[in-house]
Amino acid sequence: MGSRANFAKQSANLWDLKRRIQDHIAWQLGALEDTIHLVDGFPMPVGKYARASGSRCFKGEAGFSYCAAKDEKYYGFEGHVLISFEGIICGYTFTAANVDERDVLPEMAAGLHGLLMVDKGYIRSSLKQELEQQGIDLQVPVRKNMQDIRSKAFVSLFMSNRRLVESVIG
């Protein structure tokens, strides 16, 4: 079997096979054909912010960012997950923490159709237009200073279903 370190390295090198297995399972469960999907990002800190500048761990790969939910700066990566309305993971990706999640979304949503629910961090008019050309209706909660023309019933249903992606991430 070898050492635990060698086993961990060999397992990490199987990332492509793991992704293909996950894609096949999602396809078998019909999650990719679902018309409603949810996307969210989550922080993946790899070190304390104050010590990160002197660290050689993930140098050139990780980045600095701010997590509003935890109200703290961090050094590391950001994970992005795409799930179906039933909570089945349809796709995921990892980026440096300083990469804008709105730039990752078009690639993650490739091949989807229907409704895509995201959080306020994805507000960008050009992104909505780009996804509309792919047949995706991007629904984003509005900020307090923005006017919402959607019905209150839709907004209430939308916000209650956003919790599903948070549960999958947890």
Going along the chain from its start, the domains and CATH numbers come out as: 33-169 (3.30.420)
pLDDT at 78: 92
pLDDT at 1: 55
C-alpha 51, offset from chain centre: 27
C-alpha 62, offset from chain centre: 17
Report if pTM > 0.85.
no
Please list the pLDDT of the chain residue by residue as tens digits (170 residues): 578 888 877 777 788 888 889 889 888 998 888 888 999 889 988 877 777 677 777 777 888 888 887 888 888 899 999 998 888 998 888 999 889 888 898 888 888 888 888 887 888 888 888 888 888 888 887 777 777 777 777 777 777 777 888 888 88
Place of tokens 């992005």: 80
Nearest of 78, 35, 38 to residue 168 by alpha carbon: 38
pLDDT at 169: 85
Q: Hey, which residues does 66 pair with through a beta bridge?
A: 73
Tokens of 43: 């922080």
